[in-house]
Amino acid sequence: MHIGLTFDLRDEYRKLGYSEEATAEFDSVETIDAIESAIQKMGNTTERIGSIKRLAELLTQGKRWDMVFNIAEGLGGLAREAQIPGLLEAFEQPYSFSPAEVMVVTLDKSLAKLKVNQAGIATAIWQIVAESSDIKKINLPFPLFVKPIAEGTGKGISSKSLVENENELNLEVTELLTRFKQPVLVEKYLSGREFTVGIIGSKENAKVIGVMEIIALSGAEKGGHTFHNKENCETLMEYTVTNDSVSEAAGKLALDAWKALDCLDAGRIDIRCDANQVPHFLEVNPLPGLHPTHSDLPILAGKNGMNYLTLMSEIVNAATTRLKLNNL
């Protein structure tokens, strides 16, 4: 197959003046090199397309690929992860990972929580603050956890995200509203164990490839997987594969949530337990980071005996099977 690669390169946006935090979800050259090398080792040819503007140029010129391997996060708006899928759908171009309508729901943490909650899947109670006047409407028991409604990679999450009283709540929500120009999710803090679950496949063919517990080490910020802790995970976080009843329950809940959200091909679901160690859905990442040694999904896969090439082969095979491209 001839596979096109769509992505947002961190260095390109940094040259345009965007901050380190603004580009945190974008990919490094090392990640694109690793993805392309793995896809080529499967016997495919590749073409680096890049971001949405270049993709639009090529599509309007009549360029097509057997499949587009899409990991572009998009830059602006609450539907940014849906931009490239929507464009590809308009040109009837097959691509990997979840479709536009799923990307809209999963990026908005409140919509994702609502959908899994409606499916009977546990998630912490929550409220949304769209503007500062909404803060006084919060009617949830402290402690609470506060984060932007549509960011990933821990953006907007710090030690200040865990709030213990009304004053801390007001200060942190106000700061996030100003900084990110989007609503803020306020949810009951879950004080138990934290897991991330890797999933490959779609609908009834989806499977859990591993459950990894996330443990904060000495020196890490409180609050779990904060932006600072994620960016410095090699020294501040410990990733452990566990096979006890709690991790097993976390894996089952994650798979149920994956299916309820209609996610496709591969991704991660983050789980946190309450004080009684009952797993709850936190959020889903339908465009998982794929850096071989720094991203959670490859780390999780490796700790469960699946090397990077095998992981990438499983993802590509899941997409090509779903798209019925196996014989190309």
CB of 119 within 8 A of CB of 105?
A: no
Looking at 47, 80, 95, which one is the last position of a domain? Answer: 95
What pLDDT shows up at residue 299? 95
Q: Which domain holds residue 13?
A: 2-95
Q: Is residue 105 part of a domain?
A: no
pLDDT of residue 147: 95
157 and 55, same structural domain?
Answer: no
Question: pLDDT exceeding 70 applies to what percent of the chain?
Answer: 96
Confidence (pLDDT) at 127: 98
> Domain holding 144: CATH number?
3.30.1490.20
Which parts of the chain have pLDDT scores under 50? none
Query: Which residue matches tokens 């899947």?
Result: 121
Q: What is the DSSP letter of 114?
A: H
Residue 57 in domain: yes
Please count the structural domains in the chain.
Answer: 3
Residue 296 CB contacts under 8 Å (≥ 6 apart), including other chains: 196, 198, 212, 239, 268, 288, 289
pLDDT, residue 189, reads: 97
Q: Are residues 176 and 70 in the same domain?
A: no
Final residue of a domain: which of 48, 75, 95? Answer: 95
pLDDT attached to residue 301: 97
Residue 175: predicted pLDDT: 96
Q: What is the pLDDT of residue 228?
A: 63
pLDDT tens for 156-186 read 898 899 999 999 999 999 999 999 999 999 9
Q: What is the pLDDT of residues 286-316, one digit of tens each?
A: 999 999 999 999 999 999 999 999 999 999 9
Q: Does one domain contain both 286 and 177?
A: no
Q: Looking at the domain assignment, is residue 327 inside a domain?
A: no
Given 139, 160, 188, which residue is the final one in a domain? 188
Is the previous residue joined to 143 through a cis bond, with omega within 30 degrees of 0?
yes
pLDDT of residue 222: 72
Whether 148 and 222 map to the same domain: the answer is no
Q: Where are the beta strands (DSSP E) in the chain?
A: 2-6, 45-50, 67-70, 126-129, 144-148, 162-163, 184-188, 194-200, 207-216, 237-241, 266-273, 279-285
CATH number at residue 85: 3.40.50
Q: Is 313 found in the same domain as 234?
A: yes
Which pLDDT value is given to residue 242?
86
- Which residue, among 224, 158, 195, has the nearest Cα to 296 in the 3D structure? 195
Q: Are residues 234 and 249 in the same domain?
A: yes
What is the reported pTM? 0.94
Q: Are residues 69 and 136 in the same domain?
A: no
The CATH number assigned to the domain holding 254 equals: 3.30.470.20
